[in-house]
Each structure stands twice: as structure tokens, then as C-alpha cells.
Structure 1
Amino acid sequence: MHVIKFEGVRLPTFASFLDVAAAIVDVPEDTAKWFWRFTICAGRRADSPSGEVRRHSQALLAALPTSDGSIADMLRERFPDYEPAHILGEWRSSLQQIIELASEREICHWYGDDSEIKRPSA
């Protein structure tokens, strides 16, 4: 696991698993692929046009369930040491931060900081 810094802002720990979120909810295929690429950034910098960042982030945020009930079992299976509500909350918070930061610029930059590798806090 790595910490994602988006426009210099450290995102919540589970932001590095937004690709999992995109894989388990109903989003367009291009959004799922975009988040797969978004999270593969450990030790490197990445960028994308802000319109693309906002579009994919808004699609995933809208697709996330309002409560963990419908995806709780999947989350418990993938992350057995963490509460599904905590994971879902961090995903929502991450996406909201990304959308807000992306609205302030034309090109967005992020970095996967693997110097801070640690297990997510429950």
C-alpha cells in the first residue's frame, strides 16, 4: 500500500484502493480503467486533465452506495481487518477531495508515496 498525494494533499489511506471501489460498483468501463491507472502510482508521478479527473471521480462517487450494506461482504472479504463503513467513508472523502482540488486547475497531478507505506488504520 502507498499513500496518494493529490496536488500535494495527502488523501485518506483507502484512496489507494479506489480501483477496488470502481471494480465492485457499477461504473463505466473507462472509469474503472481510469481508477486502476490512478492507483498504480507508487514511486511515480502521474497527471490527467482536470475534466477527466472530475468526470471519473463524480461517476464513482455517484455509484458508491449510501451505506455499506450492499457491498459490506465484499469489503470484509478484501479487507478483513477493517470496518466496511470506514472504507466507504474514506473512499467518499477521497473522491470529494479529488473533485474539489481538480476544479481549481486544468491539469491534476498525483504521486504514490511509498516512503509512507503502512497498513490502513481502522
Structure 2
Amino acid sequence: MQDFPKRRGGLQGPVCPHGAAAVRRLAVQVVKRSELAEEVVQEVLVQVWLSAGRFDPSRGEPRVWLFTLTHRSAVEVVRREQTCHERDSRHDRETTALGQATVKKLILRRGRQMPDKSSREVFPQ
């Protein structure tokens, strides 16, 4: 990381070309989706760009630092995606239940009987 300028941080030299490919491979392994892996790569390279001047070679190898940043970012993306999926699933279940309850109330209000067994299965008691 001696190739990194100390003034503001930034990538120069050999870290970026093969580092980015290794970051992408690790990101794909963790997130399992190419488009999410690209998001991770971008985030990691921005982090490296902004914090390169603070890198301390006495604390470890640059490659290990790069992989640590990648893994952390990839895990954050996976957690965010899981949270979004769970929220969407919960919303879908609540919306479906609300819709079924509303339809059932409308049918009952109008005094109509449910005509057959399949209707009763759609609107459980």
C-alpha cells in the first residue's frame, strides 16, 4: 500500500487491477448474485479510495484488508436483501389477509351465503 498517496487516499499501482477481480470473486461467492456483487465491488473500491491513507501495513497485508472490507460489505448487502425480502413477504401476507377479510365482510354484509365448499376454503372462518 506504499503506492497509495497519503494526502487524501487513492488507488495507484498494482492493488486495483487484480484486487478488483479478487474482490468481485469473493463478493459473488457471498452474495450469489452478479448485480449485487457489482454493488459490493463498487462500495469496497470507494472505501479503499477514501481510507487508503489510513492503511497501516504493520497491521496486515493489503490483500487481507481488501478481503475484509469485501466480506463485510457483502454480508451487509445479504442482510439488507433478506430484510427487504422478509418485509415484502410480511406485507404481502398482511395485504392478502386484509383483502380476504374485506371480501368476506362484504359478502356477509350483503347477506349472501357462500355457495360451495371452494368458496369457504378461500374465505376461512
What's the TM-score bracket when you normalise by the shorter of the two chains? under 0.3
More strand by percentage:
1
More helix by percentage:
2
Q: Which has the larger radius of gyration?
A: 2
